[in-house]
Chain A
Amino acid sequence: MSKTIRLDSTEAAKFAAKIQERSGEPIDMCFQCGECSSACPVSSDMDLMPSTLVRFTQLGLKDELINAKTIWVCASCFHCVTRCPKGIDIAKVAEALRQELLRKKLDYVEVRDLSMEERQEIPQIAIISNLRKFSR
């Protein structure tokens, strides 16, 4: 399959518009400065950089986005938000992308995956927030 991205795809444009709408963020304003990635404490563990997440969203590259590890790595810590010179809240973009999957009933973490020991040790707050982020 060709790796060329077709920019005339209406599907892609629709997906971009949907994520923009759902996140409420001015995604088109990103000028790829990279501050978000630099600020992000977990970007080293991401497959797509936060900046790339935004770029791909501009282009509406749905498959790449929803298969990205990044949307599950984002910790919603809002570092990027306080730094982005264009005022884009990437935590919201990531959430909007996660929702794309979660609303289709694809959970990322399931409670039964956690061992008994883990369940005992890890505080509720962590488990609940994790589940809230990563499942329906």
Chain B
Amino acid sequence: MAKKIGAFICQCGGNISNVVDVDKVAKALDDEDIELAEIETYLCSEPSIERMKEVIEEKGLDRLVLACCTPKMHLKKFQRVLKEAGINPALVDVINVREHCSWVHENDPEGATLKATDLVRGGIKRIEKSVPLETKEIDVTPKVLVVGGGIAGIIASLRVAENGIDCYLVEKEPSIGGHMIQYPKVFPTLDCSQCILTPKLGDVWDSSIQLSTLSEIEDISGTLGNWKVKLKQKARYIDIEKCTSCGDCARYCPVKCINEFNVDLDKRSTAYIPFLQAIPPVYTIDPEHCLYFKYGICKICQKICSADAVKLDDAVKFAEINTGAIILATGYDLYDPSVLGRYLYGKHPNVLTSLQMERMLDITGPTTSRIVRPSDGKSVKKVAFVLCAGSRNNEAGANRDEGVPYCSTVCCLYAQKQAILLRKLDIDVWIHYIDIRSPGTKYEDFYHHTQELGVNFIKGKISEIMPTPNNDGRLIVRAEDMLINRMIENEVDLVVLCPPILPSEGTEELAQKLKVPLNEYKFILESHPKLDPLATKREGIFAAGMATGPKDIQTTVSEAEGAAMKAVNFVSAKKEIEPNKAYIIPEFCNGCRECIKICPEEAITIIDEKAVINDLACTGCGLCVPICSENAIDMQSYSEEQLLAQIKGTLADSKAELKILVFVEKELVYTAADIAGVSRLIYPSSVRFIPLPSNARLKLSYILYAFANGADGVMFLEAPEEEGPVPEAHKAAEKIIEEYQEVLEDDYDLDSSRLWFSRIFVPDWRKLATVFDSFHQLIVDLGPLTDEERKELMQAWSKGKKLPQVQ
């Protein structure tokens, strides 16, 4: 069936027509195979829209080319018009003759008119090759899985459940509560941590949330919005339903082992509850130390339990759940400071970590909040804190494998919290710091308050802690007071180290299973550190709290609330899949797997020795297209046929003397060019744009084709590497053009400077003028290609081409 194309050219009330001779443009289109070319004063106005509808009806048009302002203004509106008329929205193209033409060539009406004609002709050729594209919609499983039951996970799952969405909460320990439940008080308000957290634990227990403790994610399958997650639950050996938490098992259990809840400061029974408000409120048996599991004897707990809850034959369980979204709230672990030999941690009992100090300060802790020296139980009079004990250790340092380069963010403040609590017990406190970091009013006030209570601050990091020569249990800390540049020595009873915050153990494996990228410090990487901090790089997977990096409880909670709402939104609507993906032409694919290697989204798999692209994962970056030696990959919206037709249409019949074809990245660079237009930047009218997701999508053959059809120079304008929508492709574009330059020079005897690469940042739109001026001048100097040269290139192109047949 013949395609019925209509073209409209907008005057924009003179904005376009004062420079571009629109009548001439319309006239020049006479030769094209179109139904009509009409001129409108304001194409976006109601009367023009009405007119458009009328003509569509009258002439039976099935596709439109609109020469007007930037598509970022009205494309959506025009697409609606088409939709109403029953035409697929992929069958309208907007050709920008205002920002990219009339406004930037005010000094050159003739050139602008020629350029507008070429652009519209290119658009017509392109739309001929366009095919209807459907936006797919998929149903999302209306459930959310939260991993990690610290404060972040607790808040997130409560919010999800409140919104009436089914929620699973998975925690690897026997109880939820995370680290916060270990603290006696929290900064900056110094309220009782357990008093504010315990009710929340109860809320989880009483809510519809499906809690699974002692559990971790074993495996994940399925696709975006419809994950299948396999959970592995360790045996508890005590029946949750039956246990009345009377504690008899713990009382009678004969084995004592290290109590991790009190960070090794005391011992607990092998049958235990980590803390009394634990949720679920039941005991657990730790098989690692239990006599029954070691030697097959004992079973005292089983005999003593009046509720008959002990089941020593309990086993690992697996469960599979379906979920639409996942929130990662896996929190932190502290760095093991025994690696930093200088601090004597693990060698001298009176050197503690901050977490141990939290436990010691707690009324329910190992010493019921008496502060004593672990070496001899004597009471403590003086404590020194070492801040940055391993944090802010640059990787270039002499001991590269020690510590972490980043600031752990919370130690400056929690050390002050502990100092205040110690001061209240009349203990002398010396905080050794590099910088006290307390941004924000509340926190600076807190610092002020700490000073008021007589806590001593010394700027100067401790690097040496020594037992007194007579080894009486006290420790000598030696440091420089950096404010007076004198050495000081101080004999103290306890030293508290504030070690780095690390991503919790197992985060890396979990991230691998979920294919969620991590940042350089192995925390979960945000989708965008500023504009999308609660999403991960994988759609439908969110993160909150310390899982993405060190932060205080307030920020953790805000993030948890936000992530919960994002997850709720995500699972509450159908998911739209834009028709901008790459796809495989199976007849061409030889199963070489090159595309799989390059795809940054892991969107490509092999099924029956043919590559298959997953629409849900593909971002449409185009990287895989030129890599395929068999031309087996093409793209929706930017198909090979469309691009070649547009190249030819723009160049072949042009009356302009010199033509530079510019492939522009369609988001950021295109916008920069729009701003240049609005700002009436002036640059040569020889340049003609073709927008693309990234220049990494371009094959060498297109470049040959452009030169063969009349281009005298070709330019790649690429988005900045990190900030653009498809970073990996933006990065690769530069390498690709270098390769092409080499081939042009070596194999086609073409001056490689006719191919130019530049990166454009949006705010740097002025650079466009410089870039175009100098490239134009260069091409003028080189002169146009000869017909002979073009003919040869055309031959080379047609010999080398192996065009896939599009439906």
B479 touches A37 (CB 8 A): yes
Among B342, B398, B464, B478, the most chain A Cβ lie within 10 Å of the Cβ of: B398
Q: List CB contacts (< 8 Å) of B358-394 with chain A.
A: 388, 392-394
Are A34 and B459 touching (Cβ within 8 A)? yes
Q: Does A95 contact B (CB under 8 A)?
A: no
**Contact of A38 with B393 in the complex, beta carbons under 8 Å:** no
Which A residues are in CB contact (< 8 Å) with B487?
37, 43-44, 49
Pair A85/B392 contact, Cβ less than 8 Å: yes
Q: Does B473 touch A at the CB level, under 8 Å?
A: no
- Asked if residues B480 and A86 are in contact (CB atoms below 8 Å), the reply is no
Q: Does A58 contact B (CB under 8 A)?
A: no
Query: Which segment of A14-22, A25-33, A104-112 sits at the interface?
Result: A25-33
Highest count of chain B CB atoms <10 Å: which of A26, A32, A33: A33
**Inter-chain contact A26/B396, CB cutoff 8 Å:** yes
Which B residues are CB-close (under 8 A) to A12? Answer: none
Does B463 make an interface contact (CB < 8 A)?
yes
Residues of A within 8 A of B150 (CB): none
Proximity string of chain A (67-110) to chain B, C-beta cutoff 8 Å, 1 when within and 0 when not? 00000000000000111111101000000000000000000000
Question: Could you tell me if A85 and B397 are in contact, using CB atoms closer than 8 angstroms?
Answer: yes
Q: Name B397's closest neighbour in chain A (CB-CB).
A: A87
Query: Which of B398, B434, B463, B479 is close to A31, meaning CB atoms less than 8 Å apart?
Result: B434
Cβ-defined contact, B462 with A85, below 8 A: no
Please measure, in the bound complex, the distance between the C-alpha atom of A35 and the C-alpha atom of B478, giving whole angstroms.
10
Q: Which residues of B contact A82 (CB under 8 A)?
A: 398-399
Q: Which of B461, B478, B486 contacts A33 (CB 8 A)?
A: B461
- Partner of B398 from A37, A44, A48, A84 at Cβ < 8 Å: A84
Query: Is residue B441 within 8 Å, beta carbon to beta carbon, of the partner chain?
Result: no
Pairwise interchain contact A29-B461, C-beta atoms closer than 8 A: no
Cα(A82)–Cα(B400), bound, Å: 10
Q: What chain A residues lie within 8 Å of B478 (beta carbons)?
A: 38
Q: Bound complex: CA of A87 vs CA of B396, how far in Å?
A: 6
Interface string of B458-484 (1 = CB under 8 A from A): 011111100000000000001111100
Q: Of B397, B399, B481, B486, which is in contact with the most chain A CB atoms at under 10 Å from its CB?
A: B397
Q: In the complex, what distance in Å separates the CA atom of A61 from the CA atom of B728?
A: 47
Q: Distance in Å from the Cβ of A38 to the closest Cβ of chain B? A: 4
Chain B hits for A29, CB < 8 A: 394, 396
Q: Which residues of A contact B485 (CB under 8 A)?
A: 48-49, 51-52
Residue with the greatest number of chain A CB neighbours at <10 A, chosen from B393, B398, B463, B486:
B463
Give the CA-CA distance A48 to B486 in the complex, in Å.
Answer: 9
Total interface residues in chain A, CB < 8 Å: 25
Q: Which residues of A contact B460 (CB under 8 A)?
A: 33-34, 37-38
Q: Verify A32–B398 contact, CB threshold 8 A.
A: no
A83 CA to B479 CA, complexed, in Å: 13
A39 interface hit (Cβ, 8 Å): yes
B148 within 8 A of A: no
Is B89 among interface residues, defined by CB-CB distance under 8 A? no
Which of B397, B434, B479, B480 is in CB contact (< 8 Å) with A84? B397
| Nearest Cβ on chain A to B752's Cβ, whole angstroms | 39
A37 and B480: CB pair below 8 A? yes
CA distance A89 to B398 in the complex (A): 8
When chains A and B are docked, how far (Å) is the Cα of A51 from the Cα of B461? 11
Q: Please report the total number of B residues contacting A with Cβ < 8 Å.
A: 25
- CB pair A34 B479 closer than 8 Å: yes
- Residues on A with beta carbons closer than 8 Å to the beta carbon of B620: none
Q: How far is the CA of A73 from the CA of B187 in the complex (A)?
A: 45
Closest to B392 in A: A85
B464:A87 contact, CB within 8 angstroms: no
**Could you tell me the distance in whole angstroms from the C-beta of A4 to the nearest C-beta in chain B?**
18
Shortest beta-carbon distance from B278 to chain A in Å: 39
Q: Complex: how many Å from CA A32 to CA B213? A: 46
Contact in complex: A35, B463 (CB < 8 Å): yes
Among B388, B396, B464, B486, contact of A38 (Cβ-Cβ < 8 Å): B464
Contact in complex: B480, A49 (CB < 8 Å): yes
- Is there an interface contact between A35 and B461, defined as CB atoms closer than 8 Å? yes
| Chain B residue with the shortest CB-CB distance to A46 | B487
Q: How far is the CA of A123 from the CA of B112 in the complex (A)?
A: 91
Knowing A31-B434, A83-B342 touch, does A38 contact B461 (C-beta < 8 A)?
yes
Cα distance, A6 to B780, chains bound together (Å): 53
| B397 and A51 form a contact (CB under 8 A) | no
Q: For residues 433 through 467 of chain B, which have their beta carbon under 8 Å from a beta carbon of chain A?
A: 434, 459-464
B190-232 Cβ-contact flags toward A at 8 Å (1 or 0): 0000000000000000000000000000000000000000000
Assembled-state Cα–Cα distance A26/B394 (Å): 12
Given A83-B463, A85-B403, the answer on whether A34 and B480 have CB atoms closer than 8 Å is yes
Q: Cβ of B480: which chain A residues have Cβ within 8 Å of it? A: 34, 37-38, 43, 49, 51
Given A33-B388, A33-B434, A83-B342: A38 touches B479 (CB 8 Å cut-off): yes
B482: chain A residues at CB < 8 Å are: 32-34, 51
Q: In the docked arrangement, what's the CA distance between A83 and B394, Å?
A: 11
Bound complex: CA A65 to CA B465 (Å): 29
Q: Do A39 and B459 have beta carbons less than 8 Å apart? A: no
Tell me the bound Cα distance from A83 to B120 in angstroms.
67
- Residues of chain B within 8 A of A81, CB atoms compared: 398
Binary A-proximity of B341-369 (CB < 8 A = 1, otherwise 0)? 01000000000000000000000000000
Whether B398 and A34, one on each chain, are in contact in the complex, defined by CB atoms closer than 8 angstroms, is no
Contacts of B392 in A (CB 8 A): 33, 85
Complex-state Cα separation, A26 to B396, whole angstroms: 10
Q: In angstroms, how far is the closest chain B Cβ from the Cβ of A8? A: 24
- Chain B residues contacting A89 (CB-CB under 8 Å) are 398
Question: In the assembly, what is the distance between CA of A84 and CA of B480, in Å?
Answer: 14
Q: CA A43 – CA B394 in complex, angstroms? A: 24
Chain B residues with CB under 8 A of A32: 434, 482
Bound-complex Cα distance A35 to B459 (A): 11
Instruction: Give complex CA distance A32, B396 in Å.
Output: 16
A17 vs B337: C-alpha distance when bound (angstroms):
36
**Within the assembled complex, what's the spacing in Å between the Cα atoms of A44 and B487?**
6
The answer to whether B461 touches A87 (Cβ under 8 A) is no
Smallest CB–CB gap between A5 and chain B, Å? 15
Q: How far is the CB of A45 from chain B (nearest CB, A)?
A: 9
Task: Find chain A residues with CB under 8 A from B459 CB.
Answer: 34
Asked if B463 contacts A86 (CB within 8 A), the reply is no
Query: B461 to chain A: which residues have CB within 8 Å?
Result: 33-35, 38
**Residues of A close to B388: CB separation below 8 A:** 33, 85
Give every chain B residue within 8 A of A44 (Cβ-Cβ): 487
Complex Cα gap A84–B460 (Å)? 12
17 contacts between A and B (CB under 8 A): A32-B482, A33-B388, A33-B461, A33-B482, A34-B461, A34-B482, A36-B463, A37-B479, A38-B462, A39-B464, A51-B482, A51-B485, A85-B388, A85-B394, A86-B394, A86-B397, A87-B396
Sort A-B residue pairs by CB-CB distance and give the 9 closest, nearest first: A37-B480, A34-B460, A38-B463, A87-B397, A35-B463, A39-B463, A34-B480, A85-B393, A33-B434
Contacts A35-B463, A36-B463, A87-B394 aside, 13 further interface pairs with beta carbons under 8 A come to: A32-B434, A34-B461, A34-B482, A38-B460, A38-B461, A43-B487, A49-B486, A51-B480, A82-B399, A85-B394, A85-B397, A86-B396, A87-B398
